[in-house]
Amino acid sequence: MSTNPRNALNFSGGPGALPESVLAEVQQSIVEVPETGLSILGISHRSDWFAAVVDEAERNIRTLLGLSENYHVLFLQGGATQQFSMVPMTLLRGKEHPAEYIDSGYWSRKVIAEARREGPVKTIWSGESCGFNRLPTDDELSFSADAPYLHYVANETVEGLQFHRVLGRDDVPRICDMSSDFLSKPCDAEKFSVIYAHAQKNIGPAGVTVVLVKDEIAQQASDDLPSFLNYRKHIEARSNLNTPPVFAIYVVLLVTRWLLNDVGGLEKMAQINRSKAELLYSALDNADGFYRGWAARADRSTMNVAFNLPNAQLQQAFFEQSRALGFSGLEGHRAIGGVRASIYNALSVQAAQKLTEFMDSFHRQHR
Ligand code: PMP
């Protein structure tokens, strides 16, 4: 039984809920990390203890994903947003052929705008004409062998659109923003040259971004780049180039332990995430059109379930009644409005079940 029922019903789009057992350990660590006798907020980033935290967090991520030594695991600052620029700074500056980007939603658009500052970009598919309510099929995509890389967003957090396959070609580096579905399911990580994901959805608090970068890609970073924007410098410094967010990285370590030891790995995590998503999507589908899902069925996200109600009054009533029952974070992103239930790793099946019960009863009351 949950000790904090409101937190157990936190459907926020991010920062999202974290596992209760992790929160309990974090709480203790604010007062004292048992191995050190010190508060986590006052432990030096140059201590052996912190070096061991980074090592173990890295090892756990490698174990969860089956990632080889060909890849570096970095814990960086600047959010996913900094990666929007760091990737093209490394791989696009001075290039003649355009990098290929897929424009699948709100976050893709932000990524593309930053890439254009660094070099030539070609948008090979855009969801604009369909109002960003679906993703491209294979027939709609063709990838150039000359592109320096292909970039896409694995899960569009705002619209709730998720790619359920790996895109692109094996002879062109694939770069992926996995901010909102990283470590929520198994992933063929070695098909990608760079994967980046900020922590604040599935694996920790805001302040740290995990970057998996293939060695041959990191080696392409020019010496002219500021050190802070150069993957090689971060690799050499073992994610300790300047003062890193010690606290956030420690929480990521605790979440990776939870994934390995309590959940039992990413296949198990994916099963749990799928069952939550199935509950919510069936609540949408079984309401005779009362709830209108944003995403086309084939592209529905297992992380963010976005939908609309028939009118603004009903939406208001939905928010008010759900809030009174302890639910929070259900307001859709300001870019598209509506309702969005984010069901990241730490949100329980029981919480998803409760929300579907509320949705069913709200529908019965107002149809
Ligand atoms: N990419 C995706 C898919 C996101 O959902 C977000 C934020 N929610 C970002 C990038 C931006 O991340 P940050 O705020 O860490 O820069």
Residue 201 annotated in active site = yes
CB contact at 8 A, 148 and 155: no
d(CA 162, CA 318): 26
Counting atoms of ligand 1 from 1, which one is nearest the CA of 110? 10
Q: Which among 198, 203, 333 is the best mutation to test ligand 1's pocket, defined by most ligand atoms within 8 Å of the CB?
A: 198
Model confidence pLDDT, tens digit, residues 95-116: 999 999 999 999 999 999 999 9
Q: Which among 108, 176, 179 is the best mutation to test ligand 1's pocket, defined by most ligand atoms within 8 Å of the CB?
A: 179
Indicate which residue of 125, 181, 185, 201 is catalytic.
Answer: 201
Model confidence pLDDT, tens digit, residues 146-186: 999 999 999 999 999 999 999 999 999 999 999 999 999 99
Residue 233 annotated in active site = no
Query: Would you state the pLDDT for residue 1?
Result: 42
Distance 245 CA to ligand 1 centre (A): 18
What residues contact residue 216 under an 8 Å CB cut-off, 6+ apart? Answer: 193
The neighbour count for residue 223, using CB atoms within 10 Å, is 8
Give the architecture-level CATH label for domain 265-366: Alpha-Beta Complex (3.90)
pLDDT band at 4 (very low <50, low <70, confident <90, very high): confident
With a 6 Å cutoff on the Cβ, whether 342 touches ligand 1 is: no
Residue 107 annotated in active site = yes
List, by residue range, all CATH 3.90.1150.10 domains of the chain. 265-366
CATH of span 23-262: 3.40.640.10
Counting atoms of ligand 1 from 1, which one is nearest the CA of 78? 16
List, by residue range, all CATH 3.40.640.10 domains of the chain. 23-262
Model confidence pLDDT, tens digit, residues 241-287: 999 999 999 999 999 999 999 999 999 999 999 999 999 999 999 99
If you write DSSP's letter for every residue of 114-181 in order, what string do you get?
HHHTTS-EEEEEE-GGGTS-S---GGG----TT-S-EEEESEETTTTEE--S--S-TTS-EEEE-TTT
Distance 356 CA to ligand 1 centre (A): 27
